[in-house]
Amino acid sequence: MLSEILIIAIRGIAIGSIFATIAMSFNIVHGATNIFNFAQGNMFILGGFAAYFFANQTGLPWWLTMMLVSSLGIAAIVAFQGYLTLLPLRSSVEQDSWLISTVSVSVIIGALLMITQGPFAYSVSAMLPPFQLFGTRTPGAYGLAIVLMLFWFVALRLFLRKTFLGLAISALSQDFDAARAAGLPVRRLQLIAFAISGLMVGSVGFLVAPVISVNPDAGLRYVLNGFVASVVGGIGSYAGTLIGGPLVGVTAMLTAYKIGGAYQDLASLLLLVGILMLRPQGLFGRVTARRV
């Protein structure tokens, strides 16, 4: 009984850490651009595919190199996507086109993966050995997921609060007009925000590849759960995602153990609707930080 609870908690938190990292990657783009990137889940899966193709059953140095290279590659892809997404927003009165363009990019990536890889789930061998935690055998990648979430949380915090670039991106999300008046190169900063979000999901996708189902369909699941994590924590709140992500993860695991694996997404959907109906600003969200 106790061990069951422990397994649910550990795996839930680990899976939730993935959602939390995706939610953080939403935050940085949303803060800088007001755009929610629907394609983020497929960018994450790209990371998993990169691990399968470039770093399956290789040595540590090569694995590390490839993780860096593929994360940077995905960062470049997301930045390019951001460029395309922002293009029609510059002049048009219609400011909702990003909703359509990010969904279509998501579909395009999913379709490309499907065409080239087929509808199969690829398994990636673990880099880290499993470890014992409270007497349960836990795959190493679960540990990595949690570590990576904390890493990105701390890294983003330092970046956004200490570096000029990061401060400028924060400034953008706090007062867009004042940032422009101050001469901050807003378009470039927005693309950098996109690139960072790509770096985040690319790296986490690569690292957790051994414990997720790497298949062309999986991206949508992650983008949705990432979104739920973001809404639960409060959109825009980085600390909120640290709670929101694991909460969604534990809910999914609990559902999987108690009711059945097929109901995980339903549980997330119900959680999402529940939060939106009862507390749309999320558990930790402030009403809004941006002055209009």
Partner 1 sequence: MAVVEKHAAMTASGVSGRKAGRFNSDLPQVWIGIALIALTGFGPSLLGNEYWIHTFQLVNIYIGVAIFQNFLFVDAGQKSFGQGALLGMSAYGAAIVYGLNGWPLAAAAVFGIGAAMVGGLLFALPALRVQGFHLGFVTMSAAIVFPQLLVTLDKWTNGINGINVKIPFLTQERAFGLSLIGLAIAIFPMLALVTHYAIRRSRLGRSMFVAALSPEAARALGIRPGVMRFIAFLIAAVGTGVAGLLYLPAVVFVSPQGFNIEMSFIFFFAVVVGGRGQMLGPVVGIWIVYILPNILLAQFIEYRLLAYGCLTLLAVMIFPDGIVGSLERLRARRRSTGGGEKAFRIDNFLADLDRRSLTSRPQDEVIVEVIGGTKKFGEVVAIDSVNLKVRKGEVHGLIGANGSGKTSLLNVLTGLSRLTKGSFKINGIDATTMAADRISTMGLGRTFQTPRIFPQMSLWDNLRIGLDARTENPSAEVAALAARLEEAVGEDSAALLSHGQRRLVEVMRTVLKEASIVLLDEPAAGLSQSERQHFAELVRFLSRKMGKTVIVVEHDLDLVWNIADTITVLEQGKVVASGAPVAVAKDPAVQHMFVGARHA
Partner 2 sequence: MLEVTNLVAGYGTVPVLRGVSLAANPGEILLIGGENGAGKSTLLRAIAGFNKPDSGTVVLDGKPITGIAPETAAQMGLRLVLDGHRVFPELSVFDNLRMGAAARRGDRAGFERAVEEIYTIFPILKEKHRRFARDLSGGQQQMLALGQAFIARPKVLLCDEPSMGLAQALLPTILAFLRKWAETGTAVVVVEQHLAVTAPYADRAMIIERGQVKLSCRADELEARLAGEPVVEAT
Closer by beta carbon to partner 2, 125 or else 174: 174
Amino acid identity for residue 10 in this structure: I
CB of 17 to partner 1, least distance (A): 20
Q: Which of 9, 184, 220, 276 binds partner 2 (CB under 8 A)?
A: 184
Q: Which stretch binds partner 2 (CB under 8 A): 63-71, 112-120, 183-191, 201-209?
A: 183-191
Binding mask 250-289 for partner 2 (x = CB under 8 A): ---------------------------------------x
Answer whether 147's CB lies under 8 Å from 15's CB.
no
Q: Which of 57, 177, 277, 287 binds partner 2 (CB under 8 A)?
A: 177
Partner whose footprint covers residue 1, from partner 2, partner 1, none (CB < 5 to 8 Å by kind): none
Whose structure tokens read 């400011």? 95
Site residues, partner 1 (CB under 8 A): 36, 38, 84, 87-88, 92, 94, 96-97, 99-101, 103-108, 110-112, 114-115, 220-221, 224, 227-228, 231, 260, 262-263, 265-266, 268-269, 272-273, 276-277, 280
CB of 227 to partner 2, least distance (A): 24
Q: Which of 1, 2, 115, 181 binds partner 2 (CB under 8 A)?
A: 181
Answer whether 86's CB lies under 8 Å from 190's CB.
yes
Rule CB under 8 A: say whether 185 interacts with partner 2. Answer: yes
Q: Which of 34, 170, 213, 281 binds partner 2 (CB under 8 A)?
A: 170
Closer by beta carbon to partner 1, 138 or else 237: 237
| CA-wise closest residue to 208 among 133, 126, 120, 119 | 126
Closer by beta carbon to partner 1, 102 or else 138: 102
Rule CB under 8 A: say whether 239 interacts with partner 2. Answer: no
* Close Cβ partners of 191 (under 8 Å, ≥ 6 residues apart): 79, 82, 83, 86
Q: Which of 1, 119, 277, 291 binds partner 2 (CB under 8 A)?
A: 291
Partner whose footprint covers residue 137, from partner 2, partner 1, none (CB < 5 to 8 Å by kind): none
Rule CB under 8 A: say whether 186 interacts with partner 2. Answer: yes
Closer by beta carbon to partner 1, 175 or else 265: 265
DSSP the chain: -HHHHHHHHHHHHHHHHHHHHHHHHHHHHHHHHS---TTHHHHHHHHHHHHHHHHTT--HHHHHHHHHHHHHHHHHHHHHHHHHHHGGGTT-S---HHHHHHHHHHHHHHHHHHHHH-S--B----SSPPEEETTEEE-HHHHHHHHHHHHHHHHHHHHHHHSHHHHHHHHHHH-HHHHHHTT--HHHHHHHHHHHHHHHHHHHHHHTGGGS-BSTTHHHHHHHHHHHHHHHH-TT-HHHHHHHHHHHHHHHHHHHHHT-GGGHHHHHHHHHHHHHHH-TT-SS--S-----
Binding residues for partner 2, rule: CB under 8 A, are 161, 164, 167-168, 170-171, 174-175, 177-186, 289, 291
